[in-house]
Structure 1
Amino acid sequence: MGSAERKERDKQEMREMILTAAKNLFIREGFEHVTIRRIAEVIEYSPATVYLYFTDKDAILCALQELGFRELYKRQQVLSVIKDPAERLRACGKIYMEFAMENQEWYDLMFIMRAPMKAFDTPEDWNLGRDTYEVLRSIIVECIDQGYLKARDPQIACFALWSLMHGVVSIFIRDRAPMIPKEHRNHVIDGILDFTMAELLEK
């Protein structure tokens, strides 16, 4: 390995170390209470080192969210093999909710944690999040065009379905449903998807 490759590898390792430390701190102590100095203490480097990689902690949060959205989008790619749009819509919901339940800390950082969004200064900064949303919206458009959905406005239908899925997984992630044992939650998620599809579909 040449010096340039080694330097690039070291930079990538340092970036990952910063992100891992920040993620753990954001989850454990809350985004608003974490400082760049605190992150530097955990990785045992100076704050100046952290600033070489990120302008501020908002930029760190943005990078963490990007990693989460990249993984969600990767999972969504299997939907392309499902020909029936109604089946694809249900599968899309299942993938989203499974991702949330299997990656609860990531989901918290992406959708639940209260934090300023000023790191996303331009629409391009939210591209990966927009891409995952567009997967759902495009399926809904196809369902409407083929007469599967009762809804006529794809944006409203998309946001309504997303809001429902987000609400369910957020309740579970924050343990606000003690009446449902954890071992039954996947069954409940399947039931909610079946119920929702039955209400949404024309046929």
Structure 2
Amino acid sequence: MAIKERKEREKQDMRNLIIDSATQLFLKQGYDKTSIRNIAEDIEYSPATIYLYFKDKDEIFYIIHENAFEILDKLLRQHNSISDPYERLHELGKTYVNFALENPDYYDLMFVMRAPLAEIKHKEKWSAGECAFGYLLETMAACIDQGLIKPADKFVAAMTVWSFVHGLVTLYIRERTCILEMPDEDVRQMMNASLSHFLTQMKT
């Protein structure tokens, strides 16, 4: 391996080490309570080393944010083989719910915490997030074009569905569904039933 290639590999390995450490610390103790010094101590390097690779904590968080959205996007696009866009929309909703319930900490990082937004505003394109929402938008547009749901602006319809599902899972993740006094598994089943009922109301 050439010296230049080896240095690039070492640089990427260090970036990955920092990102992995930061991810675990964010999940364990939260974004606000995690500092660059905490991350440096965890990987046994000086804070100055971190700044050689990232300008601040927000940038690290943004990359973790992007990585998580890429995972979600791949899960959603597994339904490409479903030709009926309404059926695909339903599966997208269930996949979104399942992703959130199986990865509550990551979901909190992606959709609830405000920390990454400052960094996103400095980017020309929010690649992974736009890709995931774009797939929902594409599916929704197909449903409208084929007359499978009531006529509506595709952006409004997509935001309506996203907001509904986000509300469901956020109530669960933030432990607000305890007010229902139902077993956890029953709450999960109720969430999927609520999604099905909601989408049924949109059909023509």
Q: TM-score, normalised by structure 1?
A: 0.90
Counterpart pick for 2:195 among 190, 193, 196: 193
2-structure distance, mates of 1:96, 1:2: 44
Equivalent position SS for 1:32: coil
CA contact (8 A) 2:62 2:116 kept: no
Question: What 5-or-longer segments of structure 2 have no aligned partner?
Answer: none
Match of 1:82 in 2: 82
1:183 equivalent to 2:185? Answer yes
- Could you give the per-residue CA deviations for residues 142-173 of structure 1, whole angstroms, max 9, x where no partner exists? 11111111141111111111011111111111
2-structure distance, mates of 1:90, 1:157: 14
Match of 1:17 in 2: 17
Identical amino acids, percent of aligned pairs:
41
Equivalent position SS for 2:51: helix
Spell out the pairing of 1:35-184 with structure 2 (5 A cutoff).
Answer: 35-115=35-115, 117-120=117-120, 121-124=122-125, 126-178=126-178, 179-184=181-186
CA contact (8 A) 1:79 1:91 kept: yes
Equivalent position SS for 1:53: coil
* Paired letter, 2:169: V
Q: 1:116 to 1:12 in 2, by over 3 A?
A: closer
Question: What 5-or-longer segments of structure 1 have no aligned partner?
Answer: none
* Paired letter, 2:182: I
Bigger mean CA deviation after superposition, 173-182 or 45-54 = 173-182
- Could you give the per-residue CA deviations for residues 7-45 of structure 1, whole angstroms, max 9, x where no partner exists? 444333322221122122223333223221221111110
How many corresponding residue pairs?
Answer: 201
- Could you give the per-residue CA deviations for residues 105-127 of structure 1, whole angstroms, max 9, x where no partner exists? 21111111132522121331x11
Q: TM-score, normalised by structure 2?
A: 0.90
CA contact (8 A) 2:66 2:129 kept: yes
